[in-house]
Homo-oligomer: A and B are copies of this chain.
Amino acid sequence: MKIINKLRLPEDIKKLNLNELEDLASDTSKLILERISKIGGHLASNLGIIEITLALHYVFNFPKDKVVFDVSHQCYSHKIFSGRVNEFSNHEEYKNASGFSAPYESDYDSFCIGHTSTSISLGLGLARGRDAQNENYNVISIIGDGSLSGGISFEALSNAGIYNKNFIIIVNDNEMSIAENHGSIYKNLELLRKTKGEAKENYFKLLGLDYKYIEEGNNIEVLIREFKKLKNIDHPIVVHIHTEKGHSYKYAVEQKEKWHYSPGFNIETGEFLASKGNYFGGVTRDFLIKKLNENKNMRIITAGTPLVIGFNHELREKYNDQFIDVGIAESHALAFATGLTKAGAKTYIGLNASFMQRGFDQFAHEIAINKLPLKILVYGSGIIKNNKTHQGIFDVAMLSNIPNLVYYAPTTEEELLNALELQFEDDKNPIAVRIPKGLEVHAKNYVYKNTFFEFNKYDVLGSDKEIVLIGVGDTYFEVEKAKELINQKLKRDYVIVNPKNITELDKEFLDSLNNKTKFVITVEDGIINGGYGQKVASYLSKYKIPTLILGVDNEFVDMDQVQNIYKKYNLSADELLKIVESLIK
């Protein structure tokens, strides 16, 4: 480190000369590289924006002035400059700074944010809130080119275009979304880059905004000079800055998509440390490829996250007509997919559970009311090792309460393939499949039954109905493990249930518990309210069978190891054993 350890941050930044600023940028880059190489993170975007962030800290007066980072996965250097160096230099303290902006960490962070395209809305809100409070400061929103495909950013720009006070919108254009960009808006950005901002056709000017182009987006001197001119500007302006994603780390520059988000890696070689990956994601991808080959009218839609579905660059090239990435635009993706389905194409849409929240209205309206057999693949559902903004805990409460929509939560590879096959064949209902997470699993006692009817029946194991445990999706394995522990310790063969279809209750089975069952325990890895357990408890109410509902209890789930979170909410086998023990005492 050349300089960073000698500085008090943020106070000292404004005192540095250019060489020192460059040293600080270089040190910052190293800290970020080091942290992500150890615990994973968004490398390429963070390396590309260090100079912009440093110039902002040099010119503006945070936290009086406000900055909003879109998605905020690129805020690492901002955290370092605003006094969180230890959280990036000391492995022990990594956990004290999340990978996203976090007001609970620092007043320098405006919002806890993890989804795209909202920074202009939030910034415009701050600006008009400032006006309402009769205050006086700069508001800066930073948005990546990849987020401009999201409709909210357009809604916000169109409103910023009729606003008339201080508001600075920095478009950080690194020519990339998570994968490549999609949509004609990117042709305009390309034209603007090529003409150094001079082209007459200008999306931002058309929307009534002042506009400035900066070509050297990784040059601190240039950025400081230009930002000084913008400080205290009396109207909204878009500052379009050309940066290099992955800047200063050659592997990231060469392979930007791979390095958008990385697990730990070897800095010297650029090799990712063994990442377990998602086994079931691979199973699903292979299923999809087989079906794509067999069905020329099949289409797969994604919204900016092709790798989530396992479609790397080569597969996207190969299935060019059949795999459609619409860019980051989840609402459009869902309505668009509805249209394809209506026209008769076998249509899939694959999204992360957390990003799917963008489409509640499309699920309820376009898809469910029209009851079209769109095939929905839900990735990253339930509890995952991720920030609270990326947890998938709302998927069941969101999807399973909408009429006409069917939601399957398979557990094993056999069940997953069964669910995918049923989904593929069905031409009557929109069906969502919750892709299991984690490692290869085959349920020991699983009997493969390839009929739709059976899929609506619970899989039931065990002979003693005194206590019944129902495990939704991935939590079923904890229930299965708990069954073994109970067998060993309590010598009881309590019944366990895998519901599979979580929009249905197997009423025949539940009816059979009448006068037999003392307790039912439901286990799920999502929010309890609106989830599956409450449906079971409500149904069993008439039989006076007490139902203990386990899941996430009315709070947001923070980043942790999945097993720790399971333990916290009593979803793990050990905790389930304890609960059963206490119930039969």
User: With A203-B206, A206-B206 in contact, is A154–B154 under 8 Å at CB?
Assistant: yes
Q: Are A158 and B184 in contact (CB under 8 A)?
A: yes
Shortest CB–CB separation between residue A303 and chain B, in angstroms? 9
Any chain B CB within 8 A of the CB of A64? no
Q: Which residues of B contact A365 (CB under 8 A)?
A: 113-115, 357, 389
Q: Which residues of B contact A161 (CB under 8 A)?
A: 183-185, 187
Any chain B CB within 8 A of the CB of A20? no
Q: Which residues of B contact A66 (CB under 8 A)?
A: 343
Q: Are B529 and A125 in contact (CB under 8 A)?
A: no
Report which of B184, B364, B403 forms a contact with A357, defined as CB distance below 8 A: B364
Q: Are A187 and B208 in contact (CB under 8 A)?
A: yes
Q: Are B335 and A121 in contact (CB under 8 A)?
A: yes
Report which of B114, B369, B538, B542 forms a contact with A533, defined as CB distance below 8 A: B538
Any chain B CB within 8 A of the CB of A326? yes
**Which of A259-267, A269-277, A393-401 lines the interface with chain B?**
A393-401
User: With A132-B343, A533-B538 in contact, is A184–B207 under 8 Å at CB?
Assistant: yes
Any chain B CB within 8 A of the CB of A133? yes
Select from chain B the residue with minimum beta-carbon distance to A122. Answer: B339
- Copies of this chain, complex-wide, total 2
Any chain B CB within 8 A of the CB of A201? yes
A 542-554 binary contact with B (CB < 8 Å = 1; else 0): 1111111100001
Any chain B CB within 8 A of the CB of A123? yes
Q: Are A339 and B121 in contact (CB under 8 A)?
A: yes
Any chain B CB within 8 A of the CB of A196? no
User: With A206-B206, A343-B125, A344-B129 in contact, is A361–B115 under 8 Å at CB?
Assistant: yes
Shortest CB–CB separation between residue A368 and chain B, in angstroms? 8
Any chain B CB within 8 A of the CB of A327? yes
Select from chain B the residue with minimum beta-carbon distance to A154. Answer: B154
Shortest CB–CB separation between residue A15 and chain B, in angstroms? 30
| A187 CA / B533 CA spacing, docked (Å) | 52
Q: Which residues of B contact A183 (CB under 8 A)?
A: 155, 158-159, 161-162
Report which of B128, B342, B541 forms a contact with A540, defined as CB distance below 8 A: B541
Any chain B CB within 8 A of the CB of A381? no
Shortest CB–CB separation between residue A507 and chain B, in angstroms? 13
Q: Please report which residues of chain A, range 347-372, place their CB below 8 angstroms from some CB of chain B when the two chains form the complex.
A: 347, 357-358, 360-362, 364-366, 368-370
**Which of A144-152, A220-228, A490-498 lines the interface with chain B?**
A144-152
Q: Which residues of B contact A111 (CB under 8 A)?
A: 338, 342, 366, 370
Q: List 22 A-B contacts (CB under 8 A).
A: A111-B338, A111-B366, A115-B365, A125-B335, A125-B337, A128-B324, A128-B339, A129-B345, A132-B296, A132-B340, A154-B154, A155-B326, A155-B332, A158-B183, A160-B184, A161-B187, A187-B208, A331-B358, A369-B389, A397-B401, A398-B398, A404-B555
A→B interface (CB under 8 Å): 66, 68, 103, 110-115, 118, 121-130, 132-135, 149-162, 182-185, 187-188, 200-203, 205-209, 296-299, 324, 326-327, 329, 331-332, 335-345, 347, 357-358, 360-362, 364-366, 368-370, 388-389, 394, 397-398, 400-404, 527, 529-530, 533-535, 537-538, 540-549, 554-556
Given contacts A125-B340, A394-B402, 18 further A-B contacts (CB under 8 A): A103-B370, A110-B342, A113-B366, A121-B335, A122-B338, A122-B342, A129-B339, A129-B341, A132-B343, A155-B332, A158-B327, A159-B327, A161-B185, A162-B182, A162-B183, A184-B207, A404-B555, A543-B546
Closest A-B pairs by Cβ, 9 of them? A125-B339, A151-B151, A129-B343, A161-B184, A155-B332, A184-B208, A158-B183, A121-B335, A360-B360
